A = this chain, B = another copy of it.
């Protein structure tokens, strides 16, 4: 008797099959995370209790990992966004990098941080007031670090998002 409980490895990272209804719910909640369950049900032409059970199941199965307000940084006086590619010096101790990354990702200007395998070691997506603050951010937080070899800054003219990806665990 191979019972599910006990046979499974630490449990995580398993992929999940979604049917068409699940996919439609995910799509709607990606766009309108605060839609009422009643409206969601109406949009899908199902009973509110069904919509509710499905949505809960998506959260329980880890497909939906959270809900977030999206913020207009331009309205907050941070009308300039930039993407900064960073290359690290070879031979830097791994935990120095981890500490550094942890600090960078706490900075209020930072929106996203990508750790890469490629020409750049990571990229930082920031929102600031103007180009002088971009420069200031790079100088104060990146290029002065001993293990940062180089940075490459690009201004962001347009930004489009097709959903919100969960951060990696």
Chain A positions near chain B (C-beta within 8 angstroms): 13-16, 18, 26, 29-34, 61-77, 79, 81, 83, 101, 105-106, 110-120, 123, 125, 127, 152-168
Contact = CB atoms under 8 A, between A and B. Distances in A.
Nearest to A34: B67
Given A111-B163, A159-B115, A161-B111, A61 B75 contact: yes
Contact of A154 (B112, B119, B159, B165): B119
Given A63-B76, A73-B166, A76-B16, A83 B114 contact: yes
A31 B70 contact: no
A124 to B, nearest CB: 10
Contacts of A118: 83, 152-155
Contacts of A66: 31-33, 69-70
A67 B64 contact: no
B165 A111 contact: yes
A101 B159 CA distance: 11
7 contacts: A15-B74, A30-B69, A61-B75, A64-B72, A71-B163, A73-B166, A114-B158
